[in-house]
């Protein structure tokens, strides 16, 4: 057999063997819907409790600089706990998505989920990080790239 045919055959065999089944990536529209759902289901009650139970009213809440920081911090801790334990928040569960490690497709640790949340805050602040998903095949956003995570679709 000629060398070219052997080389071509070798490439075909290696490409057939190296195909790894990757779960479908989560859609951008579903990511946005899940984020909005989480804001209403988790963040809004946190702000309500801070404003009316802890602070005593909306005027004190608006005057405080510590209250919004407390709300964002509490949301981050709840978010990281849910992602590390279940891989999903209520919004992600509603739209059948899961946050997993991009190589092993297993749940991530609490500290990695917390770092992912902090990276999300950074990428949302500069806005550039939220648009990276439109230019990539795997639809990873900047905080997913930084933390080596990915949002995938799961069965109900």
Torsion of CA 123, 126, 131, 136, to 10 degrees: -60
Structural contact between residues 110 and 79, judged by C-beta atoms closer than 8 angstroms: no
Please state, in angstroms and rounded to a whole number, the distance separating the CA atoms of residues 23 and 70.
Answer: 36
Tens-digit pLDDT profile for residues 103-156: 988 999 999 999 999 999 999 999 888 889 888 888 899 999 999 999 999 987
Q: How far, in Å, are 44, 60, 116 from residue 149 at the CA level?
A: 26, 39, 8
Model confidence pTM above 0.95? no
Structural contact between residues 91 and 104, judged by C-beta atoms closer than 8 angstroms: no
Please state, in angstroms and rounded to a whole number, the distance separating the CA atoms of residues 69 and 137.
Answer: 35
- Range scoring the smallest mean pLDDT among 12-21, 44-53, 60-69: 12-21
List the chain domain ranges. Answer: 25-153
In this predicted structure, what is the pLDDT of residue 89?
95
Please state, in angstroms and rounded to a whole number, the distance separating the CA atoms of residues 78 and 56.
Answer: 23
Tens-digit pLDDT profile for residues 18-48: 555 677 889 989 999 999 999 999 999 999 9
In this predicted structure, what is the pLDDT of residue 134?
87
Torsion of CA 128, 133, 134, 139, to 10 degrees: 170
């Amino acid at each position: 057999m000629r060398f070219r045919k052997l080389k071509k055959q070798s490439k075909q065999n290696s490409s057939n063997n190296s195909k790894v089944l990757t779960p479908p990536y989560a859609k951008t529209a579903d990511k946005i819907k899940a984020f909005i759902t989480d804001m209403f289901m988790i963040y809004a009650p946190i702000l309500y409790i801070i404003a009316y139970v802890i602070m005593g009213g909306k005027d004190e809440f608006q005057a405080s600089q510590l209250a919004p920081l407390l709300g964002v911090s509490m949301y981050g801790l709840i978010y990281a706990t849910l992602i590390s334990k279940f891989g999903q928040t209520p919004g992600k569960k509603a739209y059948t998505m899961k946050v997993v490690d991009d190589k092993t497709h297993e749940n991530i640790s609490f500290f990695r989920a917390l770092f992912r949340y902090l990276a999300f805050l950074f990428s949302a602040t500069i806005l550039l990080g939220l648009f990276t998903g439109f230019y990539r095949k795997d639809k990873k956003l900047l905080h997913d790239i930084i933390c080596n995570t990915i949002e995938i679709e799961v069965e109900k």
